[in-house]
Amino acid sequence: MTSNDKQTDSNLVTIGAEIQATDKLQFSVKREQNLGDADPTYPTQTTLGATYQVNALTKLFFTQRLAAAPIVPIADFTANGFAGTQSRRETAIGVETRFGKYTAMTGRYQLENGINGTDSFAVIGLQNRLPINKKLSLDVGFERGFHLAGPNESFNSATVGFGWQPNSDFRASARYEYRDRGGVGQLFSVGAAGKLREGITALSRFQFSRGSFAGRSNETTEGMAALAIRPIAFGSFRTAVQLHSSFDDPGDKRNCSDARSQRFPRNRRLSSADQNGWNSTGVLHYDWAPTANLNCHLSRRFLS
């Protein structure tokens, strides 16, 4: 990882477990622990979760994140959209309901504790997948966060995209996202994933983002290629190896005197304008299911 001309080799160990307490109730716990210098994208943190399946279409959920530091995007990206959060403690309680096969609606109460105080939101969202034909679908989503208390404000988020799946072994997608929390941010990404052979999957993604906050703006262009290998499976024990290389071009930073202070505020990790060049990441995954109701995870992440 490179940030502000400083080279950091990051190592992260993740251990977690999922427990199916009953047919309807599930608990999860995950601990992410940095060894040595930390990648600000992945602070040391603990995540707790629970879901209760009310019926076939509705479930209740609870999540709690306890982190040692805010999430500061540096050198990793996911398909989850905008990234970063200044809060160290987050709590969400909500309900998700499906309307038929292609539409889902969520509502949640979200509490965030950051250095500027505590914010609470009532968030409602709608996700819709509209099949055009057997291979092509249109994805549309909208989320509105009503600010209840604290120093921040209400926000909106909207997404539109296409998914193309010609067969069971290949899928491609394109997505545009707009968000106005703490400023205005836009993101466009295209990606594809395919199964090369049994146990080997390849994926790639290109992503462009633009943001403007308090008169400061930046642009970022990113590309990523990855390979996932699942070579070993002995009964309830499985391993996987994931390798990926990514390129990040910070683009135009002339109006962004402090790129780190102007974040896309959520969902998770995205490169910031500090990062430039190629990054290599390796992840080792171990999964163990000793019983039908207990699944344990262990992973080791290397970033340089």
DSSP 148-210: EESSS--EEEEEEEEEEEEETTEEEEEEEEEE-TTSEEEEEEEEEEEEEETTEEEEEEEEEEE
274: alpha, beta or left? (left if phi > 0; alpha if psi -120 to 50): alpha
- The reported pLDDT for the residue numbered 278 is 62
Classify residue 262 as exposed, middle or buried by CB count within 10 Å of its CB (0-12, 13-18, 19+): buried
- The reported pLDDT for the residue numbered 78 is 40
CATH number for the domain harbouring residue 146: 2.40.160
pLDDT for residue 46 is more than 60:
yes
With beta carbons less than 8 A apart as the criterion, state whether 157 and 140 touch: no
| Long-range contact set of residues 120-123: C-beta below 8 Å, sequence gap at least 24 | 120/147, 120/148, 120/149, 120/150, 121/145, 121/146, 121/147, 121/148, 121/154, 122/146, 122/148, 123/94
In angstroms and rounded to an integer, the radius of gyration of the C-alpha atoms of the chain is 20
Structure tokens at 249: 């071009």
With beta carbons less than 8 A apart as the criterion, state whether 151 and 117 touch: yes
- The whole domain housing 115 covers 2-303
User: For residues 245 and 268, which has the higher predicted lDDT (pLDDT)?
Assistant: 245
**Side-chain-facing half-sphere of 275: CA atoms under 13 Å:** 25
> How many CB atoms within 10 Å of residue 215?
10
With beta carbons less than 8 A apart as the criterion, state whether 194 and 204 touch: no
Domain count, the chain: 1
Residues 59-103 pLDDT 10s = 999 999 998 877 655 433 343 344 456 678 899 999 999 998 899
Structure tokens at 270: 């995205």
pLDDT for residue 162 is more than 70:
yes
Residues 216-257 pLDDT 10s = 787 888 888 888 887 666 666 777 777 766 665 555 544 443
Nearest Cα to Cα of residue 16 among 59, 49, 38: 49
**Contact partners, residue 138, CB within 8 Å, separation at least 6:** 129, 130, 132, 160, 161, 162
Q: Quote the Cα angle for 181-182-188, to 5°.
A: 55
Residues 97-156 pLDDT 10s = 999 889 999 999 999 887 777 899 999 999 999 999 999 999 999 999 999 998 888 999
- DSSP, res 39: P
